[in-house]
Amino acid sequence: MSSKSQSSVLHKFKGVIFSTMSSEELLNSLDSFEAREDDVFLVSYPKSGTHWIAKVIENIPNARITLTPPIELGDISKFEELKTYCERRVIPTHLSYSMLPMNVKQKQCKIIYIIRNPKDIAVSFFHYYKDNPNLPSIETWHEFFELFLKGDVVYGSWFDHVLSWEEHKNVKNILIISYEEMKKDPSKNIKKIATFLGLNMTDSEINQIVWKTSFTEMKNNTAKENCDPNHTICALTSNRNLVFRKGAVGDWINYFTSKQKRVFDELFTEKMNEKQTPYEKVSCVRDNY
């Protein structure tokens, strides 16, 4: 660990590590948040593709939506700020199900949960830790791998996060979107998102969004949109250059040693097979292993 110590940029809340950009006061007050019935929550574990799906939703014609900063970013004044948005709010967050504000569950707000192969997440997260001034510096992939396995990273264990949402996978107001499926068939999944939000699109409009939200196009646009505090989708940075690295599927193979792969696969099987009904989208992740 470098001179940027954990204690200066991180803190623990209910046993889970958070960036100090999410104040303890705000996290303690999440249940006082007033949800609106037409709110949409865009939820994922970090590095799962939140910016991508946000961009898709933003590009849906005549959607009349506003993408807000994450609900857990900042201090208690965040809730007053969120009240100022007049249009339908799309609110990003990396919170687990148990930490999501009670009001969101009571009002059955629509929730899109994005899932991605955890091995690719681990590699992407490693680079994110290395480059992000708001996170402790991690020197080596091996060091980060050990932290990721134990869940000693911001937002905790990937397994705990996914399993917290797995229990609610059949709730009608929750849509699960897989990063890998989005890559394989963006048109089909963009249509699925629009339908879920009650919005209609033509095939040509869908094709336009596929082009606008391709990884290359989004990465090319980061420079002109960069560091706009009103356009922050991540609770860990407003610097979009940190967000788009490769956007690849299967890049983990260039980092995991055979031993690391074996250790991770064993943990995956142990954690995920505890459930009698395996999470469909985890099965999809398993297929991409």
The H-assigned helical ranges of the chain are: 6-9, 24-28, 50-58, 78-83, 102-106, 118-131, 141-150, 158-166, 179-184, 186-196, 203-212, 215-225, 258-272, 280-287
- Rounded Cα–Cα distance for residues 9 and 22 (Å): 10
Report if pTM > 0.85. Answer: yes
Q: How many CA atoms lie within 13 A of 84 on its CB side?
A: 8
* 247: CATH: 3.40.50.300
CA distance 177 to 281: 8
Predicted confidence at residue 281, as pLDDT, reads 46
Per-residue pLDDT of 135-174, as tens digits, reads 898 989 999 999 999 999 999 999 999 999 988 988 999 9
Total number of domains in the chain: 1
Residue 278 pLDDT: 38
Q: Look at residue 47 and tell me if it is in a domain.
A: yes
Q: Is 231 a catalytic residue?
A: no
| Residue 37 structural domain | 6-287
pLDDT of residue 5: 57
Model pLDDT for residues 197-212, shown as the tens digit of each residue: 999 999 999 999 999 8
> What is the residue whose two structure tokens read 């009103």?
230
1 in any annotated domain = no
Better pLDDT: 227 or 177: 177
Structural contact between residues 72 and 139, judged by C-beta atoms closer than 8 angstroms: no
**SS3 state of residue 12:** strand
1 or 186: which leads in pLDDT: 186
Higher pLDDT, 220 or 181: 181
The one catalytic residue in 11, 51, 94, 127 is: 94
Q: What's the confidence (pLDDT) of residue 75? A: 94
Nearest Cα residue to 48 out of 202, 158, 136: 158
The answer to whether the beta carbons of residues 110 and 35 sit under 8 Å apart is no
